[in-house]
């Protein structure tokens, strides 16, 4: 099980904002409101999670990192052993200590509530992986921060990470995601970053 801590979930500052992003990945198609049609499948079913997920644009790191800010991270030949997005996949993102990675801003609908991903734990005592999700719309801004503690080394699956909620009157918001290894110098690896677009629980 992932050892993780929720640090903060707050709403603040009313503002107006716009942004743009594109990209789809996964298996069967499913409607997901005005943010676009998602291609989804049960990526985490072997861990008892039957929800449908879609792949974050570029989130498998198989076809480059267009739209991502890497800050010194790099794509390497490695892969979470479960290969949920394809048996031929063989790449992951290597993230050195204190390096921040950030994909393009993501449009999120009212029924898209969770994020999950695979990570390679460095097995270094005191090391942590900080996941920060900032939600924003004309309704304001909200931030969620989660820290994952290092344990035994090797590939693992994260828990469901809740999205902060600052949706506008249409039920939409934009998400800025940043992931940073902190606390103790150690390199983590990331793979298959996915979002659950269904409220079926």
How confident is the model over 58-91, as pLDDT tens digits? 999 999 999 999 999 999 999 999 999 999 999 9
Dist. CA 68–CA 114, nearest whole Å: 20
Cα distances (Å, whole numbers) of residue 120 to 16, 47, 179, 187: 37, 17, 13, 9
Dist. CA 35–CA 12, nearest whole Å: 24
**Which pLDDT score, from 0 to 100, does residue 144 have?**
96
Give the rounded distance of the alpha carbon of 70 from its chain centre.
14
**Which pLDDT score, from 0 to 100, does residue 153 have?**
98
Confidence band of 37 (pLDDT split at 50, 70, 90): confident
Mean pLDDT of all residues belonging to the chain: 86
Confidence band of 10 (pLDDT split at 50, 70, 90): very low
**Which pLDDT score, from 0 to 100, does residue 111 have?**
84
Domains of the chain, start order: 4-21+68-191 (2.60.120)
**Which pLDDT score, from 0 to 100, does residue 9 have?**
41
Confidence band of 16 (pLDDT split at 50, 70, 90): very low
Work out the number of other CB atoms within 10 angstroms of the CB of residue 40.
24
**pLDDT > 70? residue 197:** yes
Q: Which of 92, 99, 74 is nearest to 191 (CA)?
A: 92
15-19, 52-56, 106-110, 139-143: segment of lowest average pLDDT:
15-19
User: Strand locations in the chain, DSSP E?
Assistant: 4-12, 28-30, 38-40, 54-55, 74-77, 91-95, 106-108, 114-121, 128-137, 140-149, 154-157, 161-162, 173-182, 188-196
Tell me what percent of the residues of the chain surpass a pLDDT of 90. 75
Give 142-194 pLDDT, tens digit per residue.
999 999 999 999 999 999 999 999 999 999 999 999 999 999 999 999 999 99
Interval 1-29 mean pLDDT: 42
The more confident residue out of 26 and 146 is 146
Whole-model pTM: value is: 0.84
């Amino acid at each position: 099980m992932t050892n993780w801590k929720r640090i903060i979930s707050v709403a603040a500052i009313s503002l107006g904002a716009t942004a743009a992003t594109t990209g789809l990945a996964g298996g069967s198609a499913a409607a997901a409101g005005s943010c676009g049609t998602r291609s989804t499948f049960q990526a985490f079913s072997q861990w008892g999670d039957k929800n449908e997920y879609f792949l974050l644009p570029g989130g498998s790191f198989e076809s480059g990192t267009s739209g991502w800010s890497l800050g010194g991270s790099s794509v390497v030949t490695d892969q979470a052993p479960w290969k949920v997005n394809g048996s031929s996949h063989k790449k992951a993102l290597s993230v050195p200590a204190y390096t921040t990675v950030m994909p393009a801003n993501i449009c999120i609908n009212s029924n898209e509530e969770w994020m999950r991903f695979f990570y390679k734990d460095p097995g270094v005592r005191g090391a942590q992986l900080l996941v920060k999700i900032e939600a924003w719309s004309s309704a304001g801004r909200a931030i969620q921060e989660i820290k994952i503690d290092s344990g035994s080394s090797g590939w693992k699956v994260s828990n469901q990470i809740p999205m902060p909620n600052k949706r506008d009157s249409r039920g939409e918001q934009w998400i800025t995601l940043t992931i940073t290894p902190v606390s103790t110098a150690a390199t983590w690896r990331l793979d298959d970053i996915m979002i659950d677009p269904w409220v079926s629980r």
